[in-house]
Chains A and B, each alone.
Chain A
């Protein structure tokens, strides 16, 4: 069991000693049952930190944002940032290290083990509560949650409300950490990795296309999936052209004819382009925190796209992202015995 008191004490200690400039963690929000990101810079605020199954966000995103902000500062504070990281989040930090986004000394990873549990899926939770509104979710034993509602307490089986990613999680214990809270559990008793993917793969080609066409059709192109992803840090995304260099000699034609890979219209063809490009770009980098899928307001199963490439990379190239920051990246490396038979 993870006791928040210990995390708070550790955070307080770091901030008092000034060894870190900020602790990235979670605090209670006003918007609902889910915790919200906390940016603690003052030891006195360390008591705001919370840790429970509603701490869904992958805070590694803010390490990236902080780095971006620093590049604009004249005299940046270069002390490390402490981050409270679940197993998946710590893998995200490892990928960012692998991509030399920052150095190991720039980050202090406060690992927290999800143990036999994980984080809740808000939609599953509201379904399980059948209209009642959850105000608090706590772990209860090793396989259920104690949910507080206005009408009283409800005990909910973890398997019913855990996020899909958590049900198939193979890294509930943060491998990379400076300090860790909670224990490692080898057997979590949930479905094996890629179970959901396997079910989708087993469908026929036509069924798969019908499935994806329906989902892509619904996309609003709000780009929440991209914005929430710690790996989607490109200064210019393929869908927006904000970096076109314009000088006094740039003609109207040049401006008009700048490459537009994907039109702004949220129609199926353009939406599928966007999602496919994003999936490919995350191949060997996505660590399945599934934040993209969680934030989608229209429930597109984005995680499945990323899962597919994760599985292929594992099966064919023996590559697993986020385990070793020293490894060359998936698409910037090769082996002589990579599959070749598909080529004519």
Chain B
């Protein structure tokens, strides 16, 4: 179970990663809810965006999140075989794989973009995925490569 303090430090010199998490409504979003109602402790750095299906996450959402300053992007959906729409997550798997390869090819750190399978019953797994992601991004530091210089 997560043990990171939930209190966001106010010290601006401490880097607080900003993560955009695209969660499918049927599994991962419900999983995150479960983590919440079970009062699990995990970092609050992930901004959840609920989508109908991981298969509906267009690569442009991911790129746009990086463009607008996300330090990491997470796409999370139902386990293979569990998709509410039967095969949306299989399509997502291919697409996300390609996006990941492309991002890493142009020199974006591999750890900034992740995909996970989290079911509605896996509150603990969701907390763990986020915790690990935040930990890894903390080591990488802020994402500046794709961020719009505004």
Contact = CB atoms under 8 A, between A and B. Distances in A.
B145 A308 contact: no
Contacts of A283: 98
A196 B33 CA distance: 48
B94 A238 contact: no
Interface stretch (A97-105, A203-211, A249-257): A203-211
Contact of A261 (B60, B80, B132, B147): B60
Contacts of A316: 97
Interface stretch (A147-155, A160-168, A170-178, A329-337): A329-337
Interface size for chain A: under 10, 10 to 19, 20 to 34, or 35 or more residues?
A: 35 or more
Contacts of A206: 107
Given A309-B101, A312-B98, A334-B93, A343 B108 contact: no
Given A317-B94, A334-B90, A201 B105 contact: yes
Interface stretch (B16-24, B35-43, B45-53, B110-118): B110-118
Contacts of A338: 90, 93-94, 97
A273 to B, nearest CB: 5
Nearest to A197: B105
A111 to B, nearest CB: 30
A261 B115 contact: no
Interface size for chain B: under 10, 10 to 19, 20 to 34, or 35 or more residues?
A: 35 or more
Interface string A322-344: 00000000111110101110111
Interface string B124-137: 00000100100000
Given A273-B146, A343-B116, A279 B90 contact: no
Contacts of A205: 104, 107, 109
A261 B114 CA distance: 21
Interface string B61-85: 0011001000000000000100000
Contacts of B145: 209, 213
A305 interface: yes
A261 B107 CA distance: 22
Given A308-B102, A312-B101, A261 B59 contact: no
Interface in A172-214: 200-201, 205-213
B107 A212 contact: yes
A121 interface: no
Contacts of A312: 97-98, 101
B29 interface: no
Contact of A308 (B87, B105, B109): B105
A273 B63 contact: yes
A208 to B, nearest CB: 4
A143 B96 CA distance: 42
B32 interface: no
B107 A269 contact: no
Contacts of B98: 280, 283, 309, 312-313, 331
A216 to B, nearest CB: 8
A267 B148 CA distance: 8
Contacts of B148: 263, 267, 269-270
A333 B87 CA distance: 10
- Chain B binding site: helix, strand, loop or mixed by DSSP? helix
A339 B149 contact: no
Nearest to A317: B94
A309 B96 CA distance: 12
A34 B108 CA distance: 38
A277 interface: yes
Contacts of A339: 93, 97
Nearest to B147: A269
A309 B106 CA distance: 12
Nearest to B150: A269
B65 to A, nearest CB: 11
Interface string A285-313: 00000000000000000000100110011
Contacts of A340: 80, 93
Contacts of A342: 97, 100, 115
**Interface hub of A263, A267, A268, A283 (most chain B Cβ within 10 A):** A283
Given A206-B107, A276-B106, 5 more contacts: A208-B105, A280-B95, A305-B105, A331-B98, A343-B93
Interface of A: 200-201, 205-213, 238, 261-263, 267-270, 272-273, 276-277, 279-280, 283, 305, 308-309, 312-313, 316-317, 330-334, 336, 338-340, 342-344
